[in-house]
Amino acid sequence: MSATILKLGGSVITDKERPETLDGPALERSAAAVASALEGGSLTDGLVVVHGGGSFGHHHASEHGVTTTEGTDEIEAVVDIHGAMETLNQFVLSRLHAQDVPAVPVHPFSTASRDETGALSLPTAQIEAMLEAGFVPVLYGDIIATAGAGVTIISGDELVTELARALGADRVGLCSTVPGVLDDDGAVVDRITSFEDVDAILGESEATDVTGGMAGKVRTLLELEAPASIFGLESIDSFLAGQRVGTSIE
């Protein structure tokens, strides 16, 4: 199985400036692209969708001081962060269903965990079975139980990387609000092969973001064997059709 993995950035599908606000048109556009790629037959080995937190997850995580390394054992934090992400996941699923995409949820909080060193354990047998059955599994940035720290955040980007490794994914695409990684002149960088090449131009997200923004994204993707790309919503159809778009990270 060599599925394609698509991350819908939280910045794309939500209004990151306003707490718990969806960007409905952007989400519908994304769902339509997925539906037409499935119908067009360009994803014969299956598709896994992962979505980010946007103004649902990051806002609550930041309020409770929870990050990928700073944990909490307060139930209010768990309910606020996970609850908001489940709500966003429901929106994503319903927009995909409206386009006849056979999307099914996979809740990272119920399946994944970290050990004392922060190492991630993410079972994928159920995801492989879902793909075999023709479903489109939909995961999302979430909280996960972490030995000695209560719960910490797992970003959609970390899920993408782990899934790509475990499933032997063919291609990985991160759809964000920018057409790719931008250089100092605002031009899209075509290809990144080492973090040092782009360290100086990579910043954090402009909105509330507890998982490291663009720099975190590039660092995570560089660890991958599968070719990855970062692109904007205008290129989502081309990416799903197998074309090279935005910035390639190899």
Ligand X SMILES: C=C(C)CCOP(=O)(O)O
CB of 135 or CB of 140, closer to ligand ATP = 140
User: Interface with ligand X includes 81 (CB under 6 A)?
Assistant: yes
User: Interface with ligand X includes 108 (CB under 6 A)?
Assistant: no
Query: Closest residue to ligand X, Cβ-based?
Result: 141
Q: Which of 5, 6, 30, 52 binds ligand X (CB under 6 A)?
A: 52
User: Least Å distance between CB 205 and ligand X?
Assistant: 9
Could you give the maximum distance between any two Cα atoms of the chain, in Å? 47
Q: Is 168 annotated as a binding residue?
A: no
User: Interface with ligand X includes 53 (CB under 6 A)?
Assistant: yes
Structural element, H or E, at residue 145: strand 142-146
Q: Is 242 annotated as a binding residue?
A: no
Q: Which of 108, 137, 156, 179 binds ligand X (CB under 6 A)?
A: 156
User: Interface with ligand X includes 211 (CB under 6 A)?
Assistant: yes
What is the b/e burial string over 137-176, where b = at least 16 CB atoms within 10 angstroms of the residue's CB? Answer: bbbbbbbbbbeebbbbbbbbbbbbbbbbeebebbbbbbbb
Long-range pairs of 62-65 with CB within 8 A, sequence gap ≥ 24? 62/208, 62/210
Burial status of residue 54 (CB atoms within 10 A of its CB: 0-12, 13-18, 19 or more): buried
Q: Which residues are annotated as a binding site for substrate?
A: 53, 58, 156
Which residues in this chain contact ligand X in the complex, by CB under 6 A? 10, 52-53, 57-58, 61, 81, 85, 141-142, 153, 155-157, 210-211
